[in-house]
Amino acid sequence: MSKQFYVTTAIDYVNGQPHLGHAYEKIITDVIARSRQCLGEKVFYLTGLDEHGQKVQQAAQDAGKDAQAYCDELAADWRAFVEKLGLCNHDFVRTTDAAHKQVVEEILQQLYDKDEFYEGEYTGFYSAKQETFLTERDRKEDGSFDVIYGEVTELKEKNYYFKLGRHQQWLIDHIEANPDFVAPDNRRNEVLGFLKNEKLEDLCISRPKERLEWGIPLPFNPDYVTYVWFDALVNYVSIPRCRGEEASLWPADIHVIGKDILKFHAVYWPIMLKVAGLELPKQVLVHGWWQKNNEKMSKSTGNVVDPVEMIEEWDLDAFRYYVVRELAIGPDGNWTDEGFTTRYNAELANSLGNLINRSLSMLNRYRDGILSAPHDDLGAEAIAARDKLVEQLQANELQAGLMTIWSFVARMNQYVDETAPFKLAKDPDQADRLGEVLYNLTEGCRLLAIWLQPYLPTTSCRIMKQLNVPADLVNIAEAGWGGLNEGHKINEPEALFPRRDK
């Protein structure tokens, strides 16, 4: 069975409704997944929910609901969210599914049999907000913990430990030998800095059942439940295994995650896999966090962006465009409503929408929608842009890829100004030249539609329909100049992104 390109998102805690950060991560992963499809690979995209642990148990209790019933209700909202974002995901994992639980138990038992765990007394702290154990080392000078940890409780309880510490040097060597394992570079340096400067402690992998019920019982001691991260990380393997597709999917090509969960993915997870005898993912790709108006988003202050509201008000592709165009994968981003409106009007309505609309309208008006013979004023520039875009997509430089597409949009708009087809149309001696110009514009629109497939799939299909070409997936790298034939007739144009004043 040949290897598929396997890409994942983090799985989200079901303790509330999805927000901009969740939408962003799923959309960039979707663009990566679709890009690879458009470059000829068979792709598997996994996303889903992290349902166990103290944080979710607490949220269920606060809502006065049984934990499973609480998760089931919210899972329906999250699945609807995935639909709303137009994702091409191939499965949706829930860590409360029996099949996932079984794989977690298998791996726990396997490691227990290999003597990778030991019992010990845990004295330290726990942050339910981050679902993480904390030690004295994490305390600030005044004894408090960073606000990101929320309420921190002191724990003294018997638990099971995973012998993580002894793999420290191996992991350093792996990261140094595989420069792409953690991307971008600053995140790789962060992990290496941590591994080189701090002693890696063994990891507590359980909680006593009398303290926390909402988890997978340890198969070798049901008085304990599995630490939620040990359960959640396994989703990346459990789904391929449950589907009988481990051989074609594992190892994952890319785990897309946010910067706050780097240590879990670039330290704990590789060691878990090594000890379980499984290959390591090829890359952990780390994105930054969104703020709104330069402040942390927070429900309590009302400083939030509701992705569903935005999509309903503006259209899905406009939302997808803004988040990918505004923020490269890596740094933090800042959402502003003004920025959104400006990009919408300038880049979608004016530059792209107008170009497609006026190009196709002129062909309809002056030539009844029928193309003359192929001509290539813009061919070489289009192919140069395509090749650049392909490289950028392969490097997951999604924002840069959009900029490449829009440079060609700008070039085409300039070409309209230079050639002035509306003037040519008035001069019968220029009939041949008009046919050439209209061919260049229409063929340029066709390539734009192909290049937009990963980013704005609905818009891409709409352009293809207007062009009267099949809206099937086209390989971007193979789509050359001159695909439209003489005599091809297009359909009526329709406005793509109507200008908006607010």
Which is closer to ligand MSP, CB of 69 or CB of 148?
148
Q: Which of 27, 52, 15, 115 is nearest to 318 (CA)?
A: 27
Nearest distance in Å: CB 144, ligand MSP: 22
Which is closer to ligand MSP, CB of 225 or CB of 476?
225
Query: CA–CA distance from 106 to each of 8, 81, 110, 364 (Å)?
Result: 22, 31, 6, 64
Nearest distance in Å: CB 232, ligand MSP: 4
Q: Transcribe 364-432 into DSSP letters.
A: HHHHTTB--S---SSHHHHHHHHHHHHHHHHTT-HHHHHHHHHHHHHHHHHHHHHH-HHHHTT-GGGHH
Nearest distance in Å: CB 418, ligand MSP: 42
Nearest distance in Å: CB 308, ligand MSP: 16
Q: Which tokens belong to 457?
A: 């799939």
Helix, strand, coil tally for the chain in percent (to 5): 50, 15, 35
For ligand MSP, which residue has the nearest CB?
258
Which is closer to ligand MSP, CB of 257 or CB of 393?
257
Nearest distance in Å: CB 210, ligand MSP: 24
For 128-276, strand residue ranges (E) read: 132-134, 152-162, 182-183, 203-204, 206-208, 217-218, 221-226, 254-258
Nearest distance in Å: CB 450, ligand MSP: 30
For 192-338, strand residue ranges (E) read: 203-204, 206-208, 217-218, 221-226, 254-258, 283-287, 290-292, 333-335
The helix/strand/coil state of 251 is: coil
* Residues found near ligand MSP in the complex (CB under 6 A): 10-13, 21-22, 24-25, 50, 232-233, 235, 257-258, 260-261, 289-290, 297
Which is closer to ligand MSP, CB of 82 or CB of 471?
82
Nearest distance in Å: CB 188, ligand MSP: 17
Which is closer to ligand MSP, CB of 150 or CB of 179?
150
State in Å, rounded, how far the first CA of the chain is from the last one. 52
Which is closer to ligand MSP, CB of 55 or CB of 90?
55
Which is closer to ligand MSP, CB of 10 or CB of 43?
10
- Would you call 116 exposed, middle or buried from its count of C-beta atoms within 10 A (0-12, 13-18, 19+)? buried
Which is closer to ligand MSP, CB of 22 or CB of 375?
22
Which is closer to ligand MSP, CB of 37 or CB of 235?
235
Query: CA–CA distance from 127 to each of 73, 133, 138, 416, 448 (Å)?
Result: 25, 6, 11, 59, 48
- Would you call 472 exposed, middle or buried from its count of C-beta atoms within 10 A (0-12, 13-18, 19+)? exposed
Nearest distance in Å: CB 131, ligand MSP: 7
| DSSP secondary structure letter of residue 289 | -
Which is closer to ligand MSP, CB of 8 or CB of 364?
8
- Tokens 């193979």 correspond to 478
Q: Which tokens belong to 408?
A: 């060609």
Nearest distance in Å: CB 328, ligand MSP: 13
Pairwise CA distance, residues 162 & 185, whole Å: 29
Nearest distance in Å: CB 116, ligand MSP: 20
The helix/strand/coil state of 181 is: coil
Burial 117-148 (b: 16+ CB within 10 A, else e): beeeebebbbbbbbbbbbeeeeeeeeeebeee
| DSSP secondary structure letter of residue 469 | S
Pairwise CA distance, residues 294 & 335, whole Å: 8
Nearest distance in Å: CB 134, ligand MSP: 16
Which is closer to ligand MSP, CB of 284 or CB of 352?
284
Pairwise CA distance, residues 482 & 465, whole Å: 18
Which is closer to ligand MSP, CB of 227 or CB of 481?
227
Nearest distance in Å: CB 14, ligand MSP: 8
